[in-house]
Structure 1
Amino acid sequence: MESFGARLKQEREKRGVTLDDIALSTKIGKRFLSALEEEHFEQLPGGIFSKGFVRAYARHLGIDEEQAIADYLSATAAGSPDQAPQNDLPIEVAEQLEDRESDGAAPLPWSLFAGLLLIAALGLALWGFHSREARKEDRAVAHVQTANAPGLAGTQANGQRQPSDVMSGPFIVVIKAREDSWVSIVADGKQLMQEVMVARTEKSIEARYEIVVKVGSVGALDFSFNGKRLPVQGDYEEVKTLTFDVNGLRPQTPKVPSPSAQSLPPGG
């Protein structure tokens, strides 16, 4: 019985189609298409991105898309653990994989990992929400105390903006696609989008607290915050997560050496 990758390659060659043809039409990197045919699944982004690649490949050849995805899932489930796609997947995708593989095809450690990942994400989201609410209450109290202080009422009456005015209120993020890219958008905890954003289209998102954007090709997208265009955020085919709040794009947290490694004296 032919393998998943061999069947894809056979269907492609039977139609006289090259990998370059598919890459040009689907905007998927040729190296990812080669990885599908050669079953080097560890080279794929994983999750919804890999399934999207399989669907686009099958659609270009005119073969059954759902069957192709089912064959891909069977091939990845039958592979050795080191062939499984590795990637920082969105929580919702991890949940889908856990549900799909709960029949027994997935090893126990993966389901435990997905569950822990979900719990950690929910905890962080809840902590972030309460932290923002606490900061808003502190600013509101400070505003009332300043308004009641002697000698400051005139300054406020002259039209100067208060700190609470600066920090509160909605903000807008606009995404413009120069090329096709997978995009997942969560605004204030609500999933707004999880699909391919087609080239020459744009998406405007308004939120009060937080916008999380996960993309499959960050170099294909342009971002602006409250009307101000931001620098390019990465390369084509680079999977990345961007988080915005009322202050703009949050900086990526750099990795720092462990304290124990820094405290070692010279020479061990």
Structure 2
Amino acid sequence: MSQTLGEKLRHAREERGISISEVAEQTRISALYIESIENDNYKPLPGGIFNKGFLKSYAKFIGVDEQEALSDYARIAAESEAISEPPLKVYRPEVLTDDNSSSSMAPTLIFAGIILALMTGGILFVLNYIQNRDTNTANSNPNVNNAVTNIANANSANPSVPVGNAPTITTSKFEFRAAGDEISLTAAVDGKSTTQLIAAGGSATFEPKESIKFGYARSRSQSARLLINGKSIILPEMPENPRRNIIEFEINKDNLSTIWNEGRIVFQNAAVPANSNLNVPANLASNTPFPTATPTRPAATPRPSVAPPVNRPPANKPPPTMQPTIIAPRPTAKPSPN
């Protein structure tokens, strides 16, 4: 009786006195796989080329012909596949045909063509109607187009005109910039005062909740810039009190709307001089109080002092002749009788 592949490999291993653990260590094959091969049980193995690789390495290590072992395994695999796989039943598709199909397709194609033509005509009609309506609307309203164009041009020419309502103090973002020279700025945000030096070209941002007060030197008025939510606000060039050197103003919820709409800081007690012919700049006429003119008396012109005349004798007249003075004797007092 001929031996199976597993029996051949096991006898060859036992004749050489090699244990399964030694074979597994030298060939890097699991001991479970080696036992399965010797028992002709190939189900635990991965299958395919892995089984052939295991058999080839095992046979080579124990001195069995590799090709003979592979041919025996191929015969065993073919037999096991023939037993395990049932014969495949071939199904042939059947095509059912109707002899009257060619005659029944003609009405269907005609109806589909009519539907397609109606849909195409409807789409073209709608597109033409929309195009004509837009053209008529543009031609019938030239004034509207001109007004829209003028509004667009006005908005582009005046980008600083505010759009929408004035913001609230809680939603406002104040940005103070130093355009030309550095500015020492004192800012009181909600009552908390801080002083910082803003370099030329720099800026400082504030977000108050109730109020904000700014203060800076009058000599830096030309370099001071203020933006509220990106909108430029014109700042005063003179302090509210002309005798002071510090320009101070406060923005709160009461005057924010006015400042936003006018685009400038206006002092409440600003006065316009009575003489309207004076050439005063607009920003100074509304923001800077003018001192009342006090009439002054002209100083008294000193009169030149006149020296007393000197009695000089005329040059052509002779000196006066001295005449003797006669002195009358005084009467003597007579004694009164007793």
TM-score (normalizing by structure 1): 0.29
Task: Considering fraction of residues, name the structure with more helix.
Answer: 1
Greater Rg by CA:
2
Q: More relative contact order in 1 or in 2 (CA 8 Å, sep 6+)?
A: 1
Give TM-score, length-normalised by structure 2. Answer: 0.23
